[in-house]
Amino acid sequence: MSTYTIGILGLGVFGTTIAKTLHKYDCNIIAIDNHEYQINQLESILTRGVVGDITDRSLLRAAGIQNCDAVVVATGNNLESSVLAVMHSKMLGVPKVIAKVKGTTAKEILLRIGADKVISPERETGISLAKHLIHRSTTSVFELGGNVSIVEFRPPKKWFGKTLAELQLRQNYKMNIIGYRCGENQELNIQLTPDYVFNEDELITAVTDHNTIDHFEDLTD
């Protein structure tokens, strides 16, 4: 898996959790927070840590946010700050911007001004989001506790045209398929039979363990 660069704007509980999780996967992390203490705490795991205002576009550019594969706007307390951070990140050309929010209205606003994904989390979702960022073929990762996760992903090309029975996913991938969707806004279809055929237009939902998630790209290449 190629090195991935993630920007984290705000190092509260959520942002710090994402940074610590991404560090385990050797990602480049650019973090900005207006508290020097927060930057110093994570200095050893940050590729670049900048003390400053996340709403300052010049500061974001100087920090290298435009070079990120994705940016997480991890401060959800001030809607104005989140709006400006999302707008600036998109204007700098960041392909994927994810924002933390509190409240439905804030979510709608951030999506309207360009956020690609909006979530309402703290620590546990921070871990799940970090894993989602590094596993680019997945669309969602939800930790159920213990060593179990639910993952939604687009099937790899080598699965296209093959049946559930042919692939023997439980034996070969330690993965139990529980259903599929024909698109992100569609309902989950759990009526699966051994002769179900995988195709590129569907999203697959499965239960698996953390080790499989952590090596997902290697398993599905």
Read off the amino acid at residue 27: C
The residue out of 134, 154, 189 marking a domain boundary is 134
By the 10 Å C-beta count (0-12 exposed, 13-18 middle, 19+ buried), 198 is classed as: buried
Residue 9: how many CB atoms within 10 A of its CB?
Answer: 30
Q: What is the number of structural domains in the chain?
A: 2
| 78 and 157 together in one domain | no
Q: Which of 137, 122, 140 is nearest to 220 (CA)?
A: 137
Q: Is the pLDDT of residue 210 over 90?
A: no
pLDDT at 127 (0 to 100): 57
Rounded CA gap, 84 and 101, in Å? 13
Higher pLDDT: 89 or 131? It is: 89
Q: 128 pLDDT exceeds 70?
A: no
Query: H-type helices in the chain, by residue range?
Result: 13-23, 36-41, 57-63, 79-91, 104-112, 123-134, 164-167, 169-173, 210-214, 216-220
Verify that 15 and 121 share a domain, yes or no. Answer: yes
Task: Provide the token pair at 155.
Answer: 């099937």
Residue indicated by tokens 């909006």: 118
Q: How far is CA 49 from the centre of its chain?
A: 20
pLDDT band at residue 203 using 50, 70 and 90 as cut-offs: confident
Q: Give which of 168, 136, 166 is closest to 151, Cα–Cα.
A: 136
- Taking 70 as the threshold, does the pLDDT of residue 19 lie above it? yes
H/E segment holding residue 175: strand 175-181
Residue 87 pLDDT > 60, yes or no? yes
pLDDT at 183: 76
Confidence of residue 124 (pLDDT cuts 50, 70, 90): very low
Backbone φ and ψ of 214, nearest 5°: -65, -25
Q: Which domain holds residue 92?
A: 5-134
pLDDT tens digits, residue range 173-183?
788 888 888 87
- CA 209 to the chain's CA centroid: 18
- Say if residue 101 is in the same domain as residue 159: no
- Whether 204 has a pLDDT exceeding 60, the answer reads yes
In this predicted structure, what is the pLDDT of residue 21?
A: 82
Highest-scoring range by mean pLDDT, 30-44, 92-106, 113-127:
30-44
- The answer on pLDDT for 89 being more than 50 is yes
Note whether 5 and 31 are within 8 A (CB). no
Partners of 117 in the beta sheet?
98
Cα gap 134→70, rounded to integer Å? 10
Q: How confident is the model at residue 47 (pLDDT cuts 50, 70, 90)?
A: very high
Using DSSP's 3-state secondary structure scheme, residue 169 falls into: helix
Domain final residue, candidates 101, 119, 134:
134
Q: What is the pLDDT of residues 4-17, one digit of tens each?
A: 899 999 998 888 88
Both tokens of 170, joined, read 């439980």
pLDDT at 3 over 80: no
CATH number at residue 196: 3.30.70.1450
Average pLDDT of the chain to the nearest whole number: 82
